[in-house]
Amino acid sequence: MSLAAYRLFFLRPFSGFGEDMSAGRILVVDDSDDVRSFLVLLLERSGGYETLEAATGEEAVEKAISRRPDLILMDIRLPGISGVDATEAIKNNPSAAQIRIIAFSALLSVEWKQRALKAGMVAYLQKPVTLKILMETIQKFIAY
C-alpha cells in the first residue's frame, strides 16, 4: 500500500491539535526508509507528535544528544552499532540519559529483549503491534 493510500484512511490530523500544539518530540530510528516514513507519518498525523529521524545507531546517538527528543522509538537491528549499543551510548551521556527509549523490533530473541531492557530501554514492543498498543505505550512513557 502506498503511503498516500494509508494517509487517506488513517492519517488525517485530529482537529483537537492546533498547528503549534505538539504532543511531544519523538526520534524514530529504523534503517528502512519505508518503515521510518510510515512511522513518522503515523506519529505526526495520528498522534500529533513532532518527529526526528535516524537511519543508524550512530545517527540516533548524535540526534539524541543534539536535539534532545522526549522519547526514542528504536529498532534493534541496525547497520553499524545496534539499537541496544546506541541506547547504552545515549544513557552514558549525561545530557541525554533521561530520554525514554522504546524498542520497536521484529526480533523475537529473549536475549535481545533482556539486553535492551538492561541497556536502559523502558519497553520492548515486538512487531507487529496494534496501533492501540503502540500509541498507548508511547503516550505512557512520553508523559512519564
Partner 1 sequence: MNTVDLERLKEKEDAAIKIIDSWPRIFQLLVYRQLYAFGIRISNIDSEIEKELKKSA
Residues that bind partner 1 (CB under 8 A): 1, 5-6, 9-10, 12, 14, 16-17, 21-24, 34-35, 38-39, 42, 46-48, 70, 104, 106, 127-132, 134-136, 138-139, 142-143
Amino acid identity of residue 107, one-letter, is L
Contact 89, 54 (CB under 8 A): no
Minimum Å gap between C-beta 101 and partner 1 is 16
Burial (Cβ within 10 Å: 0-12, 13-18, ≥19) of residue 53: middle
Minimum Å gap between C-beta 99 and partner 1 is 15
Task: Between 40 and 89, name the residue whose CB sits nearer to partner 1.
Answer: 40
Phi, psi torsion values for 48, nearest 5 degrees: 75, 20
Phi, psi torsion values for 45, nearest 5 degrees: -85, -40
Minimum Å gap between C-beta 138 and partner 1 is 8
